[in-house]
């Protein structure tokens, strides 16, 4: 099994086949561990009425097939009671490529929380010997960005779990890192932030008070950016239909739609879906 830097986990050439769902198993290298039950139920209802629009990508395993791309669709299909799933079957690939493919797919579609992302980076480093620079190149981020995410693994398990469950943001977690040498104070601020619904700036200043550092000034923005719920809903709908990240920018009555793709195969697939009546 090859395991070189030249291996391209995103290559998904092949014809679509209908695969029995009971012969499909999850990717053991899938970095995404938390799947929102409500969103899975919503996707299951969509699959019941419209079917699966984008095929899964599988590789053969000793007793069937293993998911490379599309675990969320697979889980929702189980809920929906489907017996067969459309899929593209790839040849055998290395364990590292399985992790890279799952990681890149989730990052490109913004499906990973910061802790899952950090754990995936850590596995690439510890199990496969990749440097932070190599990881950054693989996922299209800067090395400092990768290093900052990895630092979140220094947080206690309880705080990491809160990030995974969306009880606090990556920014809240990062604000607690200066207290990593004083776990008691760190947990005290963590519990306070949950009870008080504190902002990231509130937490930063609470930490600076504990460390006897000058407080950061609160700067009132003249125009606070509030995402438009209607635009967000449209982006989510298009992302689900096209299977890739879609951004809408609106200026008055006009605007533009940006559809991202990450391979020629994905571009062709998007064009086919856009052409469907």
DSSP 259: E
Tokens (6 digits) for 60: 């053969």
Active-site position among 71, 100, 105, 117: 71
Torsion angle of alpha carbons 150, 153, 154, 160, nearest 10°? 140
Concerning whether 165 is annotated as a catalytic residue, the answer is no
CA distance 100 to 215: 41
Torsion angle of alpha carbons 95, 68, 260, 135, nearest 10°? -20
Instruction: Tell the residue number behind the tokens 């009671």, with chain if given.
Output: 81
- Give burial (CB, 10 Å; 0-12/13-18/19+) of 125: middle
Instruction: Tell the residue number behind the tokens 């629009």, with chain if given.
Output: 53
Upper half-sphere CA count for residue 63 (Cβ side, 13 Å)? 3
Give the residue among 98, 27, 95 at the shortest CA–CA distance from 66: 27
DSSP 15: -
Q: Alpha-carbon torsion 166, 116, 257, 16, what sign?
A: negative
Catalytic (active-site) positions? 71
């Amino acid at each position: 099994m090859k395991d070189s830097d030249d291996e391209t986990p995103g290559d998904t050439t092949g014809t679509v086949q209908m695969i029995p769902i009971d012969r499909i198993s999850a990717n053991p290298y899938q970095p995404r561990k938390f799947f929102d039950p409500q969103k899975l139920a919503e996707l299951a209802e969509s699959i019941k009425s419209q079917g699966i629009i984008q095929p899964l990508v599988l590789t053969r395993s000793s007793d069937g097939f293993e998911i490379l791309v599309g675990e969320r669709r697979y889980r929702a299909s189980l809920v929906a009671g489907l017996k067969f799933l459309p899929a593209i079957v790839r040849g055998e690939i290395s364990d590292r490529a399985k992790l890279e493919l799952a990681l890149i797919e989730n990052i490109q579609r913004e499906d990973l929380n910061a802790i899952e992302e950090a754990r995936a980076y850590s596995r690439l480093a510890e199990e496969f010997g990749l440097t932070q620079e190599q990881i950054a190149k693989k996922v299209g981020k800067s090395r400092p960005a990768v290093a900052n995410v990895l630092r979140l693994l220094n947080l206690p398990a309880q705080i990491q779990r809160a990030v995974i469950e969306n009880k606090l943001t990556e920014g809240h977690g990062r604000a607690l890192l200066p207290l990593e040498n004083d776990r008691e104070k760190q947990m005290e601020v963590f519990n306070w932030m949950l009870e008080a619904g504190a902002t990231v700036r509130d937490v930063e200043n609470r930490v600076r008070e504990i460390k006897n550092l000058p407080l950061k000034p609160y700067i009132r923005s003249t125009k606070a950016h509030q995402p438009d719920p209607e635009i967000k809903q449209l982006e989510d709908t298009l992302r689900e239909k096209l299977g890739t990240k879609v951004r809408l920018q609106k200026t008055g009555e006009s605007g533009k739609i940006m559809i991202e793709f990450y391979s020629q195969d994905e571009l062709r697939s998007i064009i086919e879906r856009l052409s469907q009546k």
